[in-house]
Amino acid sequence: MTPSMMMDQLQEYLQEITKDMFLGPLRLKPNIYKVDLPPRATPEYDESANTDIPPTYDSTLSDARDERWPFIVIRYSDSEDNKEGYRAVNIDLTFGGEGEGSKGYMDVLHLMEHVRISLMRETWDGWSFRLTRPLNMGFYDEQADPYWLGYMSTTWDVPSIEQEAWKNGW
């Protein structure tokens, strides 16, 4: 089981357990991304002009709502093979939500708790990895109201590679 395969399965799992959740003032379901947030949707270039001068557009989206929020980002951190034949894989989750003041904060906290409880209670059939403790979560120190960010650090035990004997010695 590779970290990228784990991230694919976690993304599918998180999409399933959050499909009925609606967060923020617009009551949107969370987007689940791997590695990082995708680029924001921006206006397209005007390709109808047939000149050597690149077309210009206003790329400031200050009044436009950021369509990526709310979200969970799944990111591989690191891993270590141990003597017991397992690989400990660290995967971090970043949670983002929007809402004025305590409402936004509470939405993100609710999302983080929902994921924590779901992961600790059960896993999906067919997973070849399991969550181990401790599971660490919290909020980042710096917050930009109305956008709120939290994190969860997880460690997963995965069967490691079994060493094979060489055909001609050793």
Give CA–CA dist 95/74, Å, rounded: 9
Residue, of 62 and 41, whose pLDDT is higher = 41
> Residue 160: is its pLDDT beyond 70?
yes
CB atoms closer than 10 angstroms to residue 90: 15
Cα 51 to the center of its chain, rounded Å: 42
Q: How far is CA 39 from CA 15, 20, 51, 68, 125, in A?
A: 20, 25, 27, 9, 33
Contacts of 11 (CB under 8 A, 6+ apart): 32, 33, 34, 74
Q: Identify the pLDDT of residue 124.
A: 72
> Residue 44: is its pLDDT beyond 90?
no
- What is the mean pLDDT of the segment spanning 103-128? 92
- What is the mean pLDDT of the segment spanning 55-79? 79
- Write down all domains in the chain, each with its CATH number in brackets: 3-35+65-159 (3.30.2000.10)
Q: Identify the pLDDT of residue 36.
A: 96
Host H or E run for residue 110: helix 102-121
Q: How far is CA 53 from CA 5, 24, 42, 67, in A?
A: 44, 42, 20, 30
> Residue 23: is its pLDDT beyond 60?
yes
> pTM value?
0.84
Give CA–CA dist 76/87, Å, rounded: 13
Burial class (CB in 10 A: 0-12, 13-18, 19+), 95: buried
Q: What is the mean pLDDT of the chain?
A: 87
